[in-house]
Amino acid sequence: MDRFDAMRIFTRIVELNSFTQAANDLGFPKATVTHAIKQLEARLRVRLLHRTTRQVTPTLDGQAYYQRCVRLLADLEETENVFSAAVQQPAGKLRIDMHSTLGMHFVMPVLDQFCVRYPLIELEIGMGDRLVDLVREGVDCVLRVGVLTDSSMVARRVALLEQVTCASPAYLAAHGTPHTLADLQGHRAVNFFSAHTGKLWPFEFKVDGQLQSLELPGTVSVNNADAYHACCRAGMGLIQAPRYHLASSIAAGELCEILPALRPDPVPVSVMYPHHRQLSSRVRVFADWLASLFAGVH
């Protein structure tokens, strides 16, 4: 096993805090991974990892060595890509995670086009609304909706999605149609809460160029987009969401947009990936493909 392979093994152990998970992730027997680390520590003459029955953590020397390995491995991949056919024909496994409704609406119906264009890339796709730890879970990139707060990731915005506020015809017939923010007094909402923090997302409205947040009472709160829309169609209250997922219900008369003059700012859609994977040709072509896919989407 060469030194770069040993570095790859070491970095995955640090990222996953486990010899076993690193071995599974890289496709090596656990004995091979253990032997590689023993050889690496012997060659460097330092202890790189603290091992307990519960977890594996880097020593101070190990943390410093990890940071250097990450940069070296990224440089190695970029260098090899420059002088190989991988630039034109990237190959290997690409692990992706994406917001479920966004993926099902925009990506999955045309994913075969990406596969035809890049037949040597093997896609492994996770779908859900939970936050993913890209490094620990070995995910190469994620497609997410919303304002990004993780500055440790590289983020590339690919779209801005228009947001609308809606209610069912039955709800509006029973409670009246609001035309101003003041008219929302007495109205109820289907509230959406973050699976990560448990906090409710407030409604937002743009009034005279200023964004205003508003919390409405409700009898039900959900953390799933399909459930959110289903509750609204059933007449349980107002919702606010990107237009793309509500457009068919609005066209069918199942939902009605309210307060169209007070729509909030569009919500961004971004591709995110760890800094040390930003030079991967697989990640780059997938991000480029997503950008072209979302071009003109609003």
Place of tokens 């045309």: 110
Between CA 176 and CA 194 the distance in angstroms is 29
- Cβ neighbours, 10 Å, residue 122: 13
- Whether the pLDDT of residue 277 is over 60: the answer is no
To the nearest 10°, the Cα dihedral for 103, 107, 109, 115?
Answer: -130
Identity (one letter) of the amino acid at 296? Answer: G
CATH superfamily of 92-161+268-294: Periplasmic binding protein-like II (3.40.190.10)
Neighbours of 186 (CB within 10 A): 10
State the SS3 of the chain: CCHHHHHHHHHHHHHHCCHHHHHHHHCCCHHHHHHHHHHHHHHHCCCCEEECCCCEEECHHHHHHHHHHHHHHHHHHHHHHHCCCCCCCCCEEEEEEECHHHHHHHHHHHHHHHHHHCCCEEEEEEECCCCCCCCCCCCCEEEEECCCCCCCEEEEEEEEECEEEEECHHHHHHHCCCCCHHHHCCCCEEEEECCCCCCECCEEEEECCEEEEECCCCCEEECCHHHHHHHHHCCCCEEEEEHHHCHHHHHCCCCEEECHHHCCCCEEEEEEEEHHHCCCHHHHHHHHHHHHHHCCCC
pLDDT at 232: 96
| Alpha carbons 272 and 275: distance in angstroms, whole number | 9
**Would you state the structure tokens that stand for residue 66, as one six-digit string?**
């990890």
Architecture in CATH of 163-265: 3-Layer(aba) Sandwich (3.40)
pLDDT tens per residue across span 279-288 = 578 888 999 9
Examine domains 92-161+268-294 and 163-265 and report if their fold is the same. yes
User: Are the C-beta atoms of residues 274 and 226 closer than 8 Å to each other?
Assistant: no
**Fold annotation for 3-82:** Arc Repressor Mutant, subunit A (1.10.10)
Residues 155-209 have pLDDT tens digits of: 889 889 999 999 999 999 999 999 999 999 999 999 998 777 778 889 999 998 8
Q: What is the pTM of this model?
A: 0.67
pLDDT, tens digit, for every residue of 132-163? 666 666 778 888 887 766 666 788 898 899 99
Domain boundaries, the chain: 3-82, 92-161+268-294, 163-265
The phi and psi torsions of 270 (rounded to 5 degrees) equal -135, 150
- Of all residues in the chain, what percent carry a pLDDT higher than 70? 89
What residues does 98 pair with on adjacent strands?
Answer: 127, 143
Indicate the average pLDDT of the chain.
Answer: 87
pLDDT tens column, 243-265: 988 999 999 999 999 999 999 99
pLDDT at position 51 is 86
